[in-house]
């Protein structure tokens, strides 16, 4: 008989799931890198550029595997990101002004300084457009590294790093929408606006069926893709429309009272089934959609993205100023920007450090924020066409992410050793 498991809070379950996602990403990224540098590298390139067509009536979408993943599957990832941002802003860690101020200031510094460092190093060169690559943090990897330290790390640091990454993701979405967008097709942009308006209206009216948002989301994705905006923006836009509302406790109380009334076994069973259905329906559409998407994104979307995008052939290109700019931004700009932004927020009294979190812990969080894997690879594909610059960018992202993970882990391990009370020596 297995021992009973202790109940976990939603946040603890989230951290555990993201830690596993980090391990899965490492394995798939390593597999892609080895494949791209093996004697079968041509098969990897063929796999990336294999085309699949989807025909609906007179409309046909003919995209390569890489584009289906980066434009299609990643839209689901950005939908989940958007849902998490909305939840945290309304009822989560970012709903508190002081916590939101700390995460916002740290994220702002952690985006501006890396981008500036990269831009200064690559000013006037062919790689100047990649300034957005070192601006993002990969939450799955970062929390995965924190999980290796277990209880040595205060929960407040995990909460801060999660909030930081969520604000960071919001900033990355804005950067993609504003600076990495091709020529716009106003007709499709108008259709996307009408579809999004319909989704917002459905959310405002309290539509609870996820099928409604699924249909509107598919249409929105298609119109955004054809409009010239990056298709993943559709995921964030849809997330803003999905409602999150607090349930009415009176309905639960009456149903619980009814279920507790004496009666025959089949009557009590029917009441309990009704109560179970009520509790299921009582979850807001946002929570239900977030819970439904999380395993799919963890076990399918991110590993497939890593498999398709992390295969960098070292033979095809070397390390250049693009790689150095990304490494400088992620390894130096990120920790300086994160800690500096947080210090300014605390210094001016608009925020305070979480309980039991020291500035030494914050330096460790800043180092881990340099793990840019998923978002940085994604922006690399937007900033550069196929060729040597894209190879340099991906190499820079992979090397910086590995080094940031090692440095962050080592620093936090050392800080936790310093903070641990020493046992008295025997005479």
d(CA 231, CA 310): 21
Q: What is the pLDDT of residues 351-383, one digit of tens each?
A: 888 888 899 999 999 999 999 888 888 889 888
DSSP H helical ranges for 242-368: 249-260, 265-282, 285-296, 302-309, 321-328, 334-347, 359-368
pLDDT of 423: 45
Does the pLDDT at position 331 exceed 90?
yes
**Number of Cβ within a 10 Å radius of residue 293:** 18
387 band by pLDDT with thresholds 50, 70 and 90: confident
pLDDT of 251: 52
5 band by pLDDT with thresholds 50, 70 and 90: very low
Q: At what angle do helices 233-241 and 155-179 cross, to 10 degrees?
A: 120
pTM listed for this prediction: 0.75
Average pLDDT, the chain: 81
Question: Which sequence spans correspond to the domains of the chain?
Answer: 10-181+230-247+283-418
22 band by pLDDT with thresholds 50, 70 and 90: low
Query: Which comes out higher in pLDDT, residue 269 or 92?
Result: 92
Average pLDDT over every residue of 155-176: 84
pLDDT of 19: 59
pLDDT of 265: 53
Does the pLDDT at position 333 exceed 90?
yes
Q: Which of 152-156, 212-216, 229-233, 316-320 has the highest mean pLDDT?
A: 212-216
What CATH number should be reported for the domain whose range is 10-181+230-247+283-418? 1.20.1530.10
254 band by pLDDT with thresholds 50, 70 and 90: low
Q: What is the pLDDT of residues 105-137, one digit of tens each?
A: 999 999 999 999 999 999 988 999 899 999 888
Q: What are phi and psi of 52, to 5 degrees?
A: -130, 140
Does the pLDDT at position 397 exceed 60?
yes
């Amino acid at each position: 008989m297995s021992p009973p498991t202790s109940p976990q809070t939603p946040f603890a379950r989230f951290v555990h799931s993201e830690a596993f996602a980090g391990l899965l990403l490492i394995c798939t990224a390593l597999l892609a890198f080895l494949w791209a540098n093996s004697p079968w590298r041509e098969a990897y390139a063929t796999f990336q550029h294999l085309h699949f067509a989807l025909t609906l009536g007179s409309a046909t979408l003919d995209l390569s595997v890489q584009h289906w993943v980066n434009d299609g599957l990643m839209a689901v990832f950005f939908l989940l990101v958007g849902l998490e941002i909305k939840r945290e802003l309304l009822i989560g860690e970012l709903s508190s002004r002081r916590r939101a101020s700390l995460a916002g200031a740290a994220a702002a510094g952690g985006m501006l300084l890396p981008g500036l460092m990269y831009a200064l190093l690559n000013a006037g060169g062919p790689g100047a457009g990649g300034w957005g690559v070192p601006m993002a943090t990969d939450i799955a990897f970062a929390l995965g590294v924190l999980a290796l330290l277990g209880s040595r790390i205060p929960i407040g640091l995990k909460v801060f790093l999660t909030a930081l990454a969520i604000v960071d993701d919001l900033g990355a979405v804005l950067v993609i929408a504003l600076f990495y967008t091709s020529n716009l097709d106003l007709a499709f942009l108008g259709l996307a606006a009408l579809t999004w308006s319909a989704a917002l209206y459905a959310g405002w009216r309290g539509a609870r069926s996820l099928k409604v948002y699924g249909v509107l989301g598919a249409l929105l994705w298609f119109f955004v893709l054809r409009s010239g905006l990056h298709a993943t923006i559709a995921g964030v836009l849809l997330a803003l429309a999905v409602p999150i509302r607090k349930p009415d406790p009176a309905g639960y109380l009456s149903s619980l009272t009814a279920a507790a009334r004496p009666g025959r076994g089949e009557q009590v069973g029917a009441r309990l089934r009704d109560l179970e259905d009520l509790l299921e329906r009582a979850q807001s559409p946002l929570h239900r959609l977030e819970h439904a998407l999380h395993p799919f994104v963890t076990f399918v979307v991110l590993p497939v993205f890593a498999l398709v995008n992390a295969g960098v052939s070292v033979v095809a290109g070397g390390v250049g100023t693009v790689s150095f700019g990304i490494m400088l931004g992620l390894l130096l700009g990120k920790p300086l920007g994160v800690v500096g932004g947080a210090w300014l927020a605390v210094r001016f009294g608009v925020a305070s450090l979480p309980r039991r979190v020291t500035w030494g812990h914050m330096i460790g969080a800043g180092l881990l924020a340099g793990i840019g894997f998923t978002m940085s690879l994604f922006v690399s594909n937007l900033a550069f066409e196929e060729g040597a610059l894209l190879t340099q960018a991906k190499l820079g992202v992979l090397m910086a992410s590995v080094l940031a993970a090692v440095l962050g882990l080592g620093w936090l391990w050392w800080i936790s050793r310093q903070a641990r009370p020493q046992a008295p020596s025997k005479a």
